[in-house]
Amino acid sequence: MKVLFYTPQSDTAAWLRDLSHALPDVDLREWQPGDDAPADVAVVWRPPREMLAGRNDLRAIFNLGAGVDAILALEREHPGTLPRGAQLVRLEDTGMAQQMAEYVTHAVLRYMRRFDEYDLLQKQQRWHVLDPHPRETFTVGVLGLGVLGSHVAQTLVSLGFPVRGFSRGARQVEGVETFAGDAEFDAFLDGVKVLVNLLPHTPETHGVLNKASLSKLARGAYLVNIARGAHLIEQDLLDALDEGQIAAATLDVFVHEPLPSQHPFWKHPRIAITPHISALTLREESVVQIAQKIGALKRGEAIGGIVDIARGY
């Protein structure tokens, strides 16, 4: 089996080394411009169009991440980029769920205990005790109940928070009040105190965090976005913060990354920024999963993580 590898990041050599150790019986090579030699599988992160277009010999394309929106955007912009018959496969967890649960738990506890406000008081050199928000009414709404979202939701349940979850199709998650489909979206949002976004980015979810959706949350709600920057209408968040509808926001993802130095988010006192680190791709765990799935393909076995191209995840 011939495997192509590509990432624009600087750790290509480490990936190739680990994949070679995990897949000693495959012919593994790094893709370079002009390489049109036969290949059965591609392992990629943000590949250029010319790497994939016309490669109808590919059986599968493994994406080095859970989100495949960059590849699907390439296909929408240049139809025919994805080879006919090639399965698009995303990573399934590989340590990301635990990282995201830690990130969200930190943000939710920070807001519930009002540590964000204590940070402001410290800058003012003010000694002032604030009552924490009542846990029993500090409802957390998780947008997206896939593998990652479900784990985040159940982690919050274990801490005693009332948790709601929203997904496109009906799902059941123990301890979580679930809502599904457009007809139940407003009911899901109504009264939520912390909205956590873990949705996949698709044309249907683009801009879902907007004036209308933010206005349906509890007055003085909080926003945590760890999915994609394109989910958020940035000016609508700034307006909601100015109006007091949103009390504060924790943002890990942005429309433009790195976030431009002059962007108003940087200096906003009620916005906390992290540089897209809520869940880093862990190479060791990812290599194990990819190697197992490539082995299954060689044996003609079914694999998980196959993306429904029409749905976008």
| Residue range 11-48, pLDDT digits in tens | 999 999 999 999 999 999 999 999 999 999 999 999 99
At 247, the pLDDT band (50, 70, 90 cuts) reads very high
Predicted TM-score of the model (pTM): 0.94
How is the chain split into domains, by residue range? Answer: 2-92+281-311, 96-273
The CA distances from residue 172 to 57, 94, 186, in Å, are 39, 22, 19
| Residue range 101-129, pLDDT digits in tens | 999 999 999 999 999 999 999 999 999 99
- What pLDDT does residue 178 have? 98
Of 46, 113, 268, 276, catalytic: 276
- What pLDDT does residue 10 have? 84
| Residue range 68-78, pLDDT digits in tens | 999 999 999 99
> Is position 171 annotated as part of the catalytic site?
no
| Residue 198 confidence (pLDDT) above 90 | yes
**Residue 39, phi then psi, degrees to nearest 5:** -155, 150
Of 114, 228, 263, 311, catalytic: 228
- What pLDDT does residue 98 have? 97
Six-digit token string for 46: 């943000």
Across the range 266-272, mean pLDDT stands at 98
Point out which residues pair with 196 in neighbouring strands: 142, 224
Give all strands of the β-sheet with 194-197 in edge-to-edge order. Answer: 177-180, 163-167, 140-143, 194-197, 221-225, 246-251, 271-273
| Residue 231 confidence (pLDDT) above 90 | yes
Across the range 217-233, mean pLDDT stands at 98
Mean pLDDT of the chain: 97
| Residue 183 confidence (pLDDT) above 90 | yes
> Is position 228 annotated as part of the catalytic site?
yes
Query: Given this structure, which CATH class describes domain 2-92+281-311?
Result: alpha beta
**Is the domain 96-273 a CATH 3.40.50.300 member?**
no
Nearest residue to 200 (alpha-carbon basis) of 145, 237, 251, 155: 145
Burial class (CB in 10 A: 0-12, 13-18, 19+), 169: exposed
